[in-house]
Amino acid sequence: MIRIALFIFIGSVVWLMGRIACQNAQEAQEKSTFPPMKEKGHFVQCAYCDTHIPERESIQKGNTHFCCEQHRQLYRG
């Protein structure tokens, strides 16, 4: 009889831990649904080679963006 009680006890502990793990996984999933691009900022395209680069790392000339100083100089148009 004590074996059955022990079995039920272990079973309920495993079930409870499974529930906690499931809740944690759900919370982590909810957090990961936030757009990851928000932190990195806006991405722009190099007018010369079409490479996508973060806006703050780009070289800007008017409304045109470039990935490096060399492409800014090479660009005509």
Tell me which DSSP letter residue 46 carries: B
Q: How far apart are CA 23 and CA 75, in angstroms?
A: 54
The reply to whether 53 sits near Zn ion by the rule CB under 5 A is no
Q: Which of 48, 58, 65, 72 binds Zn ion (CB under 5 A)?
A: 48
Residue 44 and residue 50: Cα distance in Å, rounded? 9
The answer to whether residue 58 forms part of the interface with Zn ion (CB under 5 A) is: no
Residue 49 found at the interface with Zn ion (CB under 5 A): yes
Q: Does residue 58 contact residue 64 with C-beta atoms inside 8 Å?
A: no
Asked if 46 interacts with Zn ion (CB under 5 A), we say: yes
Note whether 44 binds Zn ion by CB under 5 A. Answer: no
The footprint of Zn ion (CB under 5 A) covers 46, 48-49, 51, 67, 71
